[in-house]
Amino acid sequence: MADTANMDRLEAALCDFSGKTSLDQRFRTLFTIKGLAATTDAHMQRAIEIISKAFSDDSALLKHELAYVLGQLEDVRALPTLKAVLANLGEDAMVRHEAAEAMGAISDPSVLDVLNQYKTDSDVSVRETCELAISKIEFDNSPEGKELKQRKKAAKENEEASGKGGVETAFAPIDPAPAMSPAASKEAARSSADAASYDASSVPTFRTTLLNADLSLFERYRAMFALRNVAHGGGEGAVSAVLALAEGLKDTSALFRHEICFVFGELCHPASIPSMLDVLNDSGEHEMVRHEAAEALGGIVEEAGDAEGDGAKGGFDAVMATLTRWAKDDAAPRVVRESCIVALDELAYNNDPTQFHRIEAEPATAASAA
């Protein structure tokens, strides 16, 4: 196991503000640091220090990823940095939004006052994220939320004991809202942490909630992640769940649309390719949404390769051409251009047999922030 002294090398790469270290390499370094943080408390503390230092960079894409990782660490020692990022009105709104969401992921009630303070922020994505984070923290600390957390903990321990867990379980993302239960009854709700209980029969209910603009974003996010769980299960429900999620891309909230793109990046389902290409190619779309679409497309190509079916035939060439187009477009927003560059560089790196792939490093295209 690496000693904390060996993290100095990782710090040098992540905090290379000179531009000599490529952005995709710095992303890999970030997720290597995240993996090491989970091994010991000393590594955790050192990781938070390194990641906090990296906020001095000028790339909003990287800084938003830094905030995401701090939230996923679930350590209250990251809160001072996240509070400072949210309070920095000169920071890119995408980074500030991610800092607020990260506070929700850590879910410590001590940040409620700060989040309430920025519910009236001038940027709508920051306002909406603060509302979501507040709702999540309140839910997590409610009797229902505590019960759900215990069930998930028990399920994780059972998986690890049976050998079915491991790396995937350890790196499961912390969602900004818990998924809706697949059934209304209390007995069915008790098994809601089990992804196998989500199937095609629940898609119409989840879709209705997802598209109901009269409901709170928190409730609609819960439906979003329930549809993701259906899609994770594969089978006949996967395509219908993906198509239901795609309908949400017509919503008026850029934050909502960007989260759908993030979910598509998690799923890496070929059926989402047409909608993600439309998003990335829409110059009028919010750059935060286009960024997530770019990373989702990179993840789809990485996962599926030259697979066919579900509308994928011929789609992968279009994905590569589109990512290349925007990566080379100097007129495109920087965060969009950099997202495409990172996606392409990661694809090249992961398909290069001469490269050594660290097992604790998550692919940037598959583990990107929301």
CB 210 within 8 A of CB 246: no
Pairwise pLDDT comparison (39 vs 356), residue with the higher score? 39
The string of pLDDT tens digits covering residues 299-328 is 998 876 544 444 454 578 899 999 999 999
Whether 46 shows a pLDDT value over 80: the answer reads: yes
CA 3 from centre of chain = 29
Residue 175's pLDDT band, with cuts at 50, 70 and 90, is very high
- 269 marked as part of a ligand binding site: no
**Mapped to the 3 state alphabet, what secondary structure does 216-240 carry?**
CHHHHHHHHHHHHHHHHCCCHHHHH
CA distances from 46 to 6, 41, 49, 64 (A): 11, 9, 5, 19
Residue whose token pair is 């955790």: 44
Per the annotation, does 131 bind a ligand?
no
Neighbours of 350 (CB within 10 A): 16
Percent residues over pLDDT 90 in the chain? 72
Write the burial class of residue 263 (CB in 10 Å: 0-12 exposed, 13-18 middle, 19+ buried).
buried
Tokens of 137: 């923290």
Tally of CA atoms within 13 A in the half-sphere of 61 that contains its CB: 25
Question: What pLDDT shows up at residue 152?
Answer: 79
If you average pLDDT over every residue of the chain, what do you get? 88
Q: Is 360 flagged in the annotation as binding?
A: no
**Chain length of the chain:** 370
- CA triplet 275, 290, 256: central angle to 5 degrees? 75
The pLDDT-based confidence of 255 (bands split at 50, 70, 90) is very high
Residue 71 above 60 pLDDT?
A: yes
* Over residues 64-86, mean pLDDT: 98
The encoded tokens of residue 323 equal: 């990512």
266 assigned ligand-binding residue: no
- pLDDT tens digits along 91-147: 999 999 999 999 999 999 999 999 999 999 999 999 999 999 999 999 999 999 999
As a whole-number percent, the residues of the chain with pLDDT over 70 amount to 84
Find how far residue 259's CA is from the centre of its chain.
8
Look up tokens 């692919």; give the residue.
363
Q: Quick check: 159 pLDDT over 80?
A: no
Cα angle value 359/362/364 (rounded, 5°): 140
Tokens of 1: 């196991």
309 and 270 in contact (C-beta within 8 Å)?
A: yes
Domains of the chain by start residue, with CATH: 4-14+21-140 (1.25.10.10), 175-248 (no CATH), 253-370 (no CATH)
Q: Tell me, what's the pLDDT at 164?
A: 57
Q: Which amino acid is at 298?
A: G
In the predicted model, is pLDDT for residue 162 greater than 80?
no
Q: Is 338 one of the annotated binding-site residues?
A: no
Q: Report the Cα 134 to chain-centroid distance in Å.
A: 18
Does the global pTM surpass 0.85? yes
Q: Is 357 annotated as a binding residue?
A: no
Task: Report pLDDT for 267.
Answer: 95
Please give the pLDDT value at position 166. 46
